[in-house]
Chain A
Amino acid sequence: MTPRITFAVAARVLGQLRRDHRTVAMLIVLPALLVSLMWWMFTDSPATFDRVGGPLLAVFPSIIMFIVTSVATLRERSTGTLSRLFTMPMAKLDFLLGYALAFALIAVVQALVVVSIALYALDLDIQGAAWQLGVVAVLDGVLGTALGLFASAFAATEFQAVQMMPAVMIPQILLCGLLVPRDQLPGVLKAVSDVLPLSYAVDAVAGVARGNGFGEGAGSDALVVTAFILAALGLGAATLKRRTA
């Protein structure tokens, strides 16, 4: 791995995004719009919004990042740029980390926007610190990025890649505790939810919202999310093949 190359990939991805206004708008504005929609739906029961609003700050950014990044390596495969890069001194992890870094930066902006709007415009009531909510929201965006990069190493075409979203993300959304608290799930499903990354992403946000700061549980959930991010990137690099049929 070479930092020079990792940063070159990250700078290039950001350079491409700079020209792609629609994608940037999707990444930055859409999570905030969706949270606002939820707020509107629950106008008459603000307590419900306070309960689901926090977890949604984890769910929306990670889904959106997942979709965008899951086609990223496929795009490079189909245009031949990945082949060219593989004849250059670029490690597979340079490539994935470069993408992760670029989208992590987007995730920071995304989290700033969505958390600010949720807390200050929509009056989402949380007990914990706003900055901790922000940190967890960034982590959740990066989690979506890393899972998307991992999934895209498996898909052979962009067509297959977009199908990964319902396959990989929807089960996690159902089991993450947003619809049914995880400790009320049937035993088997509870066990499944215990190994899914989004469960910890939602637990971390919910923990901060309940007032359990990083010192009291939310911190260890955030660490688990970080471990999932690193594992997804490592496995993605292992799955990405230089030699293909």
Chain B
Amino acid sequence: MMKNAVTCRDVVVVRGGREILHGVGFDLAAGTVTGLLGPSGCGKTTLIRSIVGLQARVTGDVEVLGLPAGAPKLRGRIGYVTQEPSVYRDLTVTENLRFFAAVLGVPSSDVDRVIDAVDLRSHADVQVGQLSGGQESRASLAAALLGTPELLVLDEPTVGLDPVLRRDLWELFHRLAADGATLLVSSHVMDEASRCDRLLLMRDGDLLADDTPQGLLDSVGTVDIEQAFLTLIDRKAGAQR
């Protein structure tokens, strides 16, 4: 039986008096790469922060690796990449990773492994503030890979990367999944959808679809994900009318 790394049921989040998530539910099977797609402002980051246990005022059930989200025992078992590169700009790539490795309590040999994994060997001793945007976000991704976490939650990790790098990173994501990790990768770029094992389509705090890419295309009857997304929105609007 396949185990679920993440289980969400009726997740509602209120922020500043407004309901951001209106009862979202889905499962993430262990060892898969799931894309969380939807336009900016649809609640992707709020959902991600609920899963990693940093979001306040979450109701409903969020279970992560068999524990309630945010449980102290989960710390260090989840790799989290925020939308902004969460690394220290006044430290070099290596200094950043050594620090996070020390906090996690993983050997510093792991630093070399993750630098190679994100292809930053040539910039290992450059201060993060002097890197390009794409390099900076790869440095941030590298920190999330330290200690080989069981769940990786990546908020828009491929923004601003060139096509070759994006392809390389998606290959890396699938290698990590093949090794047993579960990945949730958010994006507002629909063309990344085909690279995922499974898709969650979000809009205005609701889940529009939870399917495989092919399953989604078949059920909606379109040839590309963007079209499927639009069709689903139209259908929902029609149903509400």
On whether the beta carbons of A16 and B104 are closer than 8 Å, the reply is: no
Chain A residues within an 8 Å CB radius of B54? 83, 86-87, 242-244
Chain A residues within an 8 Å CB radius of B89? 79
On whether the beta carbons of A243 and B53 are closer than 8 Å, the reply is: yes
Residue A167 is within 8 A (CB to CB) of chain B in the complex: no
A237 vs B105: C-alpha distance when bound (angstroms): 22
Chain B residues within an 8 Å CB radius of A83? 49, 52, 54, 80, 82, 86
On whether the beta carbons of B83 and A243 are closer than 8 Å, the reply is: no
Chain B residues within an 8 Å CB radius of A87? 52-54, 74-76, 78-80
On whether the beta carbons of A80 and B86 are closer than 8 Å, the reply is: yes
Chain B residues within an 8 Å CB radius of A12? 88, 91, 95, 99
How many chain A residues touch B (Cβ–Cβ < 8 Å)? 26
Residue B178 is within 8 A (CB to CB) of chain A in the complex: no
Contact of A16 among B56, B76, B79, B88 (CB under 8 A): B88
Contact of B103 among A16, A88, A242, A245 (CB under 8 A): A88
Chain B residues within an 8 Å CB radius of A20? 90
Residue B10 is within 8 A (CB to CB) of chain A in the complex: no
Given A80-B85, A83-B86, A242-B70, A88 and B91 contact (CB-CB distance below 8 Å): no
Contact of A245 among B15, B75, B83, B84 (CB under 8 A): B15
Q: Mark A69-80, 1 if CB is under 8 A from B, else 0.
A: 000000000011
Residue B102 is within 8 A (CB to CB) of chain A in the complex: yes
Residue A89 is within 8 A (CB to CB) of chain B in the complex: yes
Chain B: minimal CB distance from A59 (Å): 29
Chain A: minimal CB distance from B58 (Å): 8
Residue B26 is within 8 A (CB to CB) of chain A in the complex: no
On whether the beta carbons of A8 and B99 are closer than 8 Å, the reply is: yes
On whether the beta carbons of B103 and A85 are closer than 8 Å, the reply is: yes
Chain B residues within an 8 Å CB radius of A80? 82-86
A81 vs B53: C-alpha distance when bound (angstroms): 15
A85 vs B103: C-alpha distance when bound (angstroms): 8
Chain B residues within an 8 Å CB radius of A85? 103
Chain B: minimal CB distance from A237 (Å): 15
Chain A residues within an 8 Å CB radius of B91? 12, 15-16, 19
Given A84-B100, A85-B103, A245 and B82 contact (CB-CB distance below 8 Å): no
Chain A: minimal CB distance from B67 (Å): 13
Chain A residues within an 8 Å CB radius of B72? 89
On whether the beta carbons of B53 and A242 are closer than 8 Å, the reply is: yes
Chain A residues within an 8 Å CB radius of B57? 245
On whether the beta carbons of B103 and A5 are closer than 8 Å, the reply is: yes
A15 vs B81: C-alpha distance when bound (angstroms): 23
Closest chain B residue to A8 by CB distance?
B102
Interface centre among B76, B79, B88 (most CB of A within 10 A): B88
Chain A: minimal CB distance from B6 (Å): 14
A243 vs B83: C-alpha distance when bound (angstroms): 17
A16 vs B70: C-alpha distance when bound (angstroms): 29
Residues of B within 8 A of A (CB): 15-16, 49, 52-57, 70, 72, 74-76, 78-91, 95, 99-100, 102-105, 127, 143-144
Q: List 6 A-B contacts (CB under 8 A).
A: A80-B86, A81-B86, A81-B88, A87-B54, A89-B75, A243-B55
Starting from the known contacts A81-B88, A241-B56, 17 additional A-B residue pairs (CB-CB under 8 Å) come to A8-B99, A19-B90, A20-B90, A79-B84, A80-B85, A83-B52, A84-B82, A84-B86, A86-B54, A86-B75, A87-B74, A87-B76, A87-B78, A88-B100, A89-B72, A243-B70, A245-B56
